[in-house]
Structure 1
Amino acid sequence: MTREAVGIWLIVLVLYEIAFDVSGRCPSLCECGTWYNLQHASCTGRHLYSIHTGASNIVQALDLSNNSISVLNNYELAEAGLTRLKYLNLSVNAISEIGLNAFNGLSELTVLDLSKNHLYYLLSDIFMPVKSLRVLRLSKNNFNSHVPKLECPWLMDLTLDSCQISYVPADTFIGLSRLRTLDLSNNLLIQLDTVALETLQFLRRLSIEGNPWTCDKLTFDLQIYLMRKNIQYHAICVKNVEPKKFEKMIVYNPQVKYKKHRPLINLNSNIMENMTNKHFTSTPGRENACATTTNESNFMKMLNSISPYWFLIAGFILGIASGMISSYVWITRKICCSRQTDNDAQNISLLQNPWLFEDSPLNDTAISCPDTPPPPYRDVVLRPGLYCNVSVNTNLNNNVATNSTEYT
C-alpha cells in the first residue's frame, strides 16, 4: 500500500509540474493551447510593436497577426527563443523591412505568413537558412515591378495575389525549382511569357484570374502551354462562339422547319405538266393582280428600307423652308406698307406746313425745307380740303418785308 501510494503521488506531482511549467510560461498577452498537435500561442490584436511577447521556447505555432510590428531585425526570432517554430503568422502588420538574417536559427519553420504588410521588396537569399519552408504567403503587399526573385528550392506553395504586380521577368522563378502552386491572381498583369514558367517543372496549379489581360497571341500561347503541361488554371480570354440572343432572331428562318418536315412527293413529268397547265393558266385579271401585288410589295420593301431618321430630317428641312418663306413674305409686306404710309404722311405734312401756321404769330420765323418741291396742281384742285388758300396780300406783304430787309 505504501509503495503504490508513493507511486501515485509521484505521478501527480510530475503532471502538476508539467502543467505548471506550461501554464507559467504562457505570456499574459497571449492565449496558449494546442493547435494541430502543436503548442500554440495566439497574440493577435494586442498592439504589439515587436515579436518579444515572452513566449517560451516550446511554442511551435505563433500567431502575431493584426499588430503593429514594422521591422524584423537580424537574429531577432532566434534571440527570443523561438527556434522550434513550425508556423509563424505575421499577417496584417506594418512590416516594411526584414533583415537578411532575420530567420536564421528557425530550421523547423514550415509555414510563414507575411501577407497584408508594407513590403515592397525582399532579398533573394532571405529564406536560404530556412530549409524546411514549404508555404510562403506574400499576398496584398506592394511589390509592383519589384517581384521577389527568391532562392528557395524547397518551397512548394507561393502566394503573390493582390500585390500590384505589373510585370514578371523571365528569371523570377529560377530559384523555385520545386514550386507546385503559384498564385498571381488579382494583379496588374497584361501579359505573362511562358519562358518565366519553364523552370517550374513541378508546377501543378497556377492562379492568374483577375488580371487585365490583353488577350493577344502571347496570352493564348500561355493557355496552350498550361493545357499541354496539365497545369490547373481558370480560363481567361474565352472566345464566345455561340451567337447572341438577337443574332439568333435574325438568323432564324421559319421556312427551314417546314422544309425539313414536308413530305417528299415524286411525280412523273407528264403529271407535272398537266398540273401546271391546269392550275397555272394565265388570265388578264390574274396578271394584273399579280402585277399590282408585286408593285405593292416593292413599294413596301422600299418604305421598309428607308430609315425613319430620313423622315425626321425631311420634315425638319421642310419646316425650316416654310418658316423662312413665310417670314420673308411678312417682312416684305411690312416694309412696303411702311414706306407707302411714310411717303403719304411726308407729302401731306410738307403741303400742310406752310398754310397751317399762317395765322400764327410765329409765321415769320417758320421753318421751311428749301429742297421740298411744291405739291402738284392736280392734288390741290382735287383735294382742296387738305390745303389752305394763300391770299395775295400775304404774299405781297411777305415780298415787301423781304425787300425792306434786303435794303436795310
Structure 2
Amino acid sequence: MINGTVIYFAISLVSMLFFSGIAASTQQCSAFCVCDTWYDLERASCVGRHLYNIHTGAPNNVQALDLSDNVISLLTSFELANIGFTRLKYLNLSKNAISEIELNAFDGLADLMVLDLSRNRLDDISAEVLEKNKNLRILRLSKNNFKSHIPKLRSSSLTELSLDSCQISHLPLDTFNGLKHLRRLDLANNLMIQMNAIALQTLHFLKKLSLEGNPWSCDKVMLDLKMYLRNKDIEFDEICSKKGNVRKFEKMVVLPTMTRNYHHSKIANPEEPKERSNRIEMESNILNNKTLSTCQETANPTLVTDSVAYWFLFLGFILGIFSRQVISYIWLLGMCLYNRRCSLERFNNGFSISREPSLLSLDGRMESDGSLSEFYPNTPPPAYRDVMLQPSLYRYPSRISNLNRDR
C-alpha cells in the first residue's frame, strides 16, 4: 500500500514538473511569434508582423528564427548576439527591406548553418561579414539588386550559394575565390552575356551550376565554358543548344549557306558525299516542317474566322463613315431650303409694308375733295412755296378758293 502511494506521488510530481515546464516555455514566447518544434529545433516564427527590427521578445534558447515578410531594414553589429540568439542554426530574414548589413552583424552565431537573405534590397555585402561563421552551409541571396557589385564572400564552410535573379550583368574572375568548398551555385535568371570558365577554376568541389534564363551570346567563351563543365562532370542546364535557342531568323540565315555548297563539282574529301546527303535531308526536313506549318495555318479555322471578323469590322467602319456623310448632306440641304424660304417671306412682307403708306396717301389725294389737312386732321397745311413748286401734288383746290370763285 505504501509503495503504491509513493508511486502515485512520484507520478504526480513528474507530471506537475512537465506541465510547469511547458507552461514556462509558452510564457517565454513573444506575443509577436509562435513557438514550436521544427525539424527537432526550437523555433520562433514571427512572420508578417510588420516588425522594424529583430527585437521580437522571442526566447533566447530558440534554434530557428523566422523573421520573414517584415520591414526590417538594417542589421547592426553584434545585434543578434546581444539579444541572446547565440544558439541559432537557422535564420530566415527573407522578404524584408534590408539594405545594409554591418560587418559584425552575425558575430557570435557559431552554430548558424542556414541564412536566408533573399528578396531584400541589398546592393553590396562586405566580403568578411560571414567569415567567422564556421558552420554556415547554405546562403540564399536571391532577388536582390547586386547588378555589378557582386559580393566576393569569404567562407571556408559554405557549400550552397544562391544568386539567381539579382540583375547580375558581369561576373569578375575572382568572385568565388573565397568559397573553396562550394558545391552548388545558382546564377539563373540574370543579365549575363558571357561567363569565363576561369571564374570557376577555384571551385574544386562544385557539382551543380544553374545558368538558365541568361541572354547568353554563344561565342567561343561560352563554348569553352561548356567544355570545362563537361570535363569536370559538373551538372548544368544546356546553354547555347541549337534545339533550344535556334530562332526563325537563324533558320533563314543558315539555309542559304547550306544550299550554296551544292554546286561544287570536285570532291576534296571522301566523306563529303555523306555530309552532303545529311545536309539535304536536314534541309528537306526543314522545308517539310515549313510547308506543314503553313498548311496547318491555312487549315486552322480560327485564323479564317479571325480574318472574316476583321473584314466585317472594316466594312462596318466604311459604312458608318458613308452614312454619316449622307446624313450630314441631307441636314445641310434642309437648312439651306429653310433659310431660303424664310428670306423670301421676309422680303415679301417688307415690300408690302413699304407700299402701304404710299398707296394710302395716293388714295387719300385722289379720293378726297378737300385739302390734305382735311384728310389728315392733325396735319398742318403745306407751305405756300411747296404748293407753288409742286402744283401736281396739290392740284385739288380748297373749298375756300371755290367759294371765292363763286362770288
Flag whether TM exceeds 0.5 (same fold).
Answer: yes
Q: Does 1:130 align with 2:130?
A: no
Q: How does 1:238-317 map to 2 (within 5 A)?
A: 238-240=241-243, 243=282, 247-249=286-288
* Residue 60 (structure 1) aligns with: 63
Q: Give the percent of matched residue pairs that are identical in Structure 1 and Structure 2.
A: 54
Note closer, same or farther for the CA distance 1:160–1:244 as it changes in structure 2 (3 Å cut).
farther
Contact 2:134 2:156 in 1 (8 A): no
The CA distance in 1 between the partners of 2:225 and 2:8, in whole Å, is 74
* Residue 152 (structure 1) aligns with: 155
* Residue 101 (structure 1) aligns with: 104
Q: Does 1:92 align with 2:131?
A: no
Q: How does 1:114-129 map to 2 (within 5 A)?
A: 114-129=117-132
* Residue 161 (structure 1) aligns with: 164
* SS of corresponding position for 1:165: coil
* SS of corresponding position for 2:17: helix
The CA distance in 1 between the partners of 2:283 and 2:233, in whole Å, is 32
Note closer, same or farther for the CA distance 1:19–1:170 as it changes in structure 2 (3 Å cut).
same
* Residue 182 (structure 2) aligns with: 179
* Residue 79 (structure 2) aligns with: 76
Question: In the TM superposition, what whole-angstrom CA distance separates every residue of 1:65-120 from its partner, at most 9, and x where no partner exists?
Answer: 00000000011101111111110000000000011111011001100000000000
The amino acid that maps onto 1:40 is R
- Among 188, 198, 201, which residue is 2:201 paired with? 198
TM-score normalised to structure 2 length: 0.60
Q: Does 1:215 align with 2:218?
A: yes
Offset of 1:212 from its aligned partner? Answer: 0.6
The amino acid that maps onto 1:22 is S
Q: Does 1:4 align with 2:7?
A: yes
The CA distance in 2 between the partners of 1:195 and 1:148, in whole Å, is 17
* SS of corresponding position for 2:44: strand
Q: Does 1:237 align with 2:240?
A: yes
Q: Does 1:18 align with 2:21?
A: yes
Question: Cα RMSD between the aligned structures?
Answer: 1.9
Offset of 1:147 from its aligned partner? Answer: 0.6
The amino acid that maps onto 1:249 is N
Q: Does 1:113 align with 2:116?
A: yes
Question: In the TM superposition, what whole-angstrom CA distance separates every residue of 1:19-66 from its partner, at most 9, and x where no partner exists?
Answer: 012101111111111111111111111100000100111111111000
The amino acid that maps onto 2:150 is V
Note closer, same or farther for the CA distance 1:18–1:201 as it changes in structure 2 (3 Å cut).
same
* SS of corresponding position for 1:21: helix
The amino acid that maps onto 1:192 is M
* Residue 310 (structure 1) aligns with: none
* SS of corresponding position for 1:53: coil
The CA distance in 2 between the partners of 1:105 and 1:184, in whole Å, is 30
* SS of corresponding position for 1:182: strand
The amino acid that maps onto 2:35 is C
* SS of corresponding position for 2:35: strand
Note closer, same or farther for the CA distance 1:46–1:217 as it changes in structure 2 (3 Å cut).
same
The CA distance in 2 between the partners of 1:200 and 1:54, in whole Å, is 41
Contact 2:80 2:86 in 1 (8 A): yes
* Count of matched residue pairs: 252
Note closer, same or farther for the CA distance 1:169–1:251 as it changes in structure 2 (3 Å cut).
closer
The amino acid that maps onto 1:222 is L
Query: Which shows bigger deviation, 234-243 or 32-41?
Result: 234-243
* SS of corresponding position for 2:139: strand
Note closer, same or farther for the CA distance 1:48–1:250 as it changes in structure 2 (3 Å cut).
closer
Offset of 1:243 from its aligned partner? Answer: 3.6
Offset of 1:184 from its aligned partner? Answer: 0.3
